[in-house]
Structure 1
Amino acid sequence: MASFSMEDFVGNGVLKELLPKLLEEGWDDVPTLKIMDAEDMDEMNLTRRQKDAFEIRTYLHDRALMNYGDRLEASGKGLPELLAISNADLASQYGMKRGHVARFLDRTTACTEPVNKSEVFSIRKPPTTSRSDSLIKSFGSTTSRKMASVSRYSAATMMTYDKSIEQSLADFKIKDGHVFKGVISAGPAEPRACGCIAAPPVVDQVAPYATIENITVQKLTPEYKIGMERLLKTKGPPMKASELWRDKPAVILCIRRPGCIMCRAEAHQLYARKPLFDAMGVQLYAVLHEHIESEVQDFWPRYWGGVVLFDRGMDFFKALGGGNLLKDKFISGFLFNPRAIANYRRAKSLGLDQNFTGEGEIKGGLFIVGRKRSGIAYQFVERNFGDWAPMAEVIEICRELQNQQQEQGESIKSSQDYA
């Protein structure tokens, strides 16, 4: 899987000299840099060779083939010319492995779903459709939201955010004193060992906001930018979790184990869409329940360029399990679980490295929390090892939060104008 380090992305070619200028112009992280288009390149006065290098490296990054970046760039050829080279020449001239040749020449499939500038701009636009036309369906005024079954939980659904939503979502309304009741989601509970082993139960109600509001966390890394120290020299002081979403909504990704190949894949796929979350005004955080310095260094910024937090009390993880840690054994939860094995194969196909350092039985998940005290808008529970929150659901919930915040701002402005 391609690294989110800017230094790794530009390599040792002609883009390296542009790092100071990229930082100055705000192109300071890889997901944002990859949405640069021809107009942006012209404004920065990039040479033809620099444009070719950028196109090559973006293409390679999407296919987890960045180890060939320097060699392909040094050829002096543009991407169309390189894609026209024969399999044998790619192997002999550039040392490309057979499997990598096939991945390089396949223009239709990418390890990471690319984000383009037009998608980011479309998200920034204020909503134009009425609520009756919205994809968001109200669950009514009940005090809790029951889990909606996920009928299709394929890799394509989880990795492609623009596909249809598999689950009805709550019609949130941001008002004074309103607290989200939220939506809870989880993967299917498939039979294990021919039905001899039952899947562990998961909660069917969103955690109360009070269970996460006062959680104590510690910042282990900052948000990655060009040229910064790889890790904080001094770890941040303990802080209340509510500080994370005081000003903006937040996506909280609870990582089971940062060396796990499935956890790394989920983190990478989520952070790759950072420009979309930036456009929606949503912050991204990863939470670990175990602090092993070497594991943090391997995880950040290669697989995740956002802030990494340490939850010493495992309170976010307890909230996912309704007050108790949701755990599973390796044999029953993985070896006898076809869903977990499929999740592993999906992550393995993305070309990631892995290790087995640290505790790996405590399940993770994901929260989307509204700004201030508005509550938990969405909660996903990792029922099977390697389950990911469907990206379509995550994007749609965040988009709805953005729309309602815009509507609230317009309402306040109208009231002020009227007064």
Structure 2
Amino acid sequence: MQLEPIDMRFGVVRKEDYSISVRKCHKKVLSTRQFSRRAKASVAFIVKRPGCIICKEEGLMLRELVQSFPENRVAAWAVVKEIDVDNDGLTALYQNYFRFPFFLDRKMKLYKAMGKNVINRFKFFYNIRKNGARKRIADKGIEGTFIGKGEGLILGGVLIFDAKGDICYAYQEKSGAEELPIEEFRCALNAIIADQESN
């Protein structure tokens, strides 16, 4: 399973000319100057559609979660399905909500490994109303629309890795409109960190 690094540091989406495995993506993120090998775990944000406000909310929530751990104990990175479809949405997600490394999964192998669940459009719009997603997101100051550009039917999720690169926790979106279970993620990260520090 190969992913391609994406460089967005200067407001331009540029794919690198090489690909690396998921485990190497995790290791590459941990070795960056930002984390300086202090991270005991990493959070991989598997993005449904970068331009949609649900993904912006998820990026913001995951960024706040990662930053709540002291001394860069937790690293973060993201995976997208495509580029050059909504580069404005992708750049906005990176610059305003989730400023961590991004990787391209052109063949969607990571999405397939997570079950490749497809959104039920009726359920999605029903859950937006039922869960109060519109108000919840507006209260966080996030602007945009629920419909973005590009492929948005295959749901995303979150993977949590330990320092060795083993997946210790996986979460897949159910309807695409629910709020992330951040406290579950926090418990999983605390358990991973405690386990690694006790060894």
Residue pair 2:120, 2:175 contacting (<8 A) in 1 also: no
In the TM superposition, residue 397 of structure 1 has moved relative to its aligned partner by 1.2
In the TM superposition, residue 229 of structure 1 has moved relative to its aligned partner by 2.9
Hey, what's the Cα distance between the residues in 1 that align with 2:168 and 2:48? Answer: 21
The residue number in structure 2 matching 1:242 is 23
In the TM superposition, residue 258 of structure 1 has moved relative to its aligned partner by 0.9
Residue pair 1:262, 1:344 contacting (<8 A) in 2 also: no
The residue number in structure 1 matching 2:4 is 218
Residue pair 1:334, 1:340 contacting (<8 A) in 2 also: no
Residue pair 1:284, 1:307 contacting (<8 A) in 2 also: yes
Shift in alpha-carbon separation, 1:310–1:388, aligned structure 2, 3 A: farther
Task: Tell me the amino acid that sits aligned with residue 390 of structure 1.
Answer: P
The residue number in structure 2 matching 1:318 is 112
Which of 137, 150, 153 is equivalent to 1:347? 137
1:255 and 2:36 matched = no
Alignment of 1:169-208 (within 5 A): none
Hey, what's the Cα distance between the residues in 1 that align with 2:46 and 2:73? Answer: 20
In the TM superposition, residue 252 of structure 1 has moved relative to its aligned partner by 0.8
Hey, what's the Cα distance between the residues in 1 that align with 2:167 and 2:19? Answer: 22
In the TM superposition, residue 336 of structure 1 has moved relative to its aligned partner by 3.3
In the alignment of these two chains, the number of paired residues is 184
Residue pair 2:43, 2:161 contacting (<8 A) in 1 also: yes
Hey, what's the Cα distance between the residues in 2 that align with 1:335 and 1:238? Answer: 36
Query: C-alpha offsets along residues 244-265 of structure 1, whole Å, 9 cap, x if unaligned?
Result: 3346522111111111111101
Which of 188, 191, 197 is equivalent to 1:400? 191
The residue number in structure 1 matching 2:92 is 298
Shift in alpha-carbon separation, 1:388–1:221, aligned structure 2, 3 A: farther
Shift in alpha-carbon separation, 1:401–1:294, aligned structure 2, 3 A: same
Hey, what's the Cα distance between the residues in 2 that align with 1:337 and 1:386? Answer: 6
RMSD between aligned residues: 2.4
The residue number in structure 2 matching 1:370 is 162
Hey, what's the Cα distance between the residues in 1 that align with 2:64 and 2:186? Answer: 13
Shift in alpha-carbon separation, 1:340–1:360, aligned structure 2, 3 A: farther
Hey, what's the Cα distance between the residues in 1 that align with 2:177 and 2:128? Answer: 11
Which of 275, 278, 291 is equivalent to 2:67? 275
More strand by share: 2
Shift in alpha-carbon separation, 1:361–1:234, aligned structure 2, 3 A: closer
Residue pair 2:66, 2:74 contacting (<8 A) in 1 also: no
Task: Tell me the amino acid that sits aligned with residue 126 of structure 2.
Answer: F
Which of 389, 397, 400 is equivalent to 2:180? 389
In the TM superposition, residue 236 of structure 1 has moved relative to its aligned partner by 5.4
Shift in alpha-carbon separation, 1:397–1:388, aligned structure 2, 3 A: same
In the TM superposition, residue 268 of structure 1 has moved relative to its aligned partner by 0.8
Runs of 4+ in 1 over 6 A off after TM superposition: none
Residue pair 1:334, 1:341 contacting (<8 A) in 2 also: no
Query: Among the aligned pairs, what percent are the same residue?
Result: 22
The residue number in structure 2 matching 1:361 is 153
The residue number in structure 1 matching 2:101 is 307
Q: Secondary structure at the match of 1:301?
A: helix
Hey, what's the Cα distance between the residues in 1 that align with 2:7 and 2:96? Answer: 13
The residue number in structure 1 matching 2:37 is none
Unpaired segments of 5 or more residues in structure 2?
Answer: 31-39
Hey, what's the Cα distance between the residues in 2 that align with 1:350 and 1:255? Answer: 19
Of structures 1 and 2, the larger Rg is shown by 1
Residue pair 2:59, 2:98 contacting (<8 A) in 1 also: yes
Q: Secondary structure at the match of 1:250?
A: strand
Q: Which has the higher contact order (CA 8 A, sep 6+)?
A: 2
Hey, what's the Cα distance between the residues in 2 that align with 1:362 and 1:340? Answer: 21
In the TM superposition, residue 390 of structure 1 has moved relative to its aligned partner by 1.4
In the TM superposition, residue 341 of structure 1 has moved relative to its aligned partner by 5.0
Task: Tell me the amino acid that sits aligned with residue 80 of structure 2.
Answer: L
Residue pair 1:286, 1:306 contacting (<8 A) in 2 also: yes
Hey, what's the Cα distance between the residues in 1 that align with 2:111 and 2:75? Answer: 19
Hey, what's the Cα distance between the residues in 2 that align with 1:297 and 1:338? Answer: 25
In the TM superposition, residue 387 of structure 1 has moved relative to its aligned partner by 2.4
Unpaired segments of 5 or more residues in structure 1?
Answer: 1-214, 223-227, 409-419
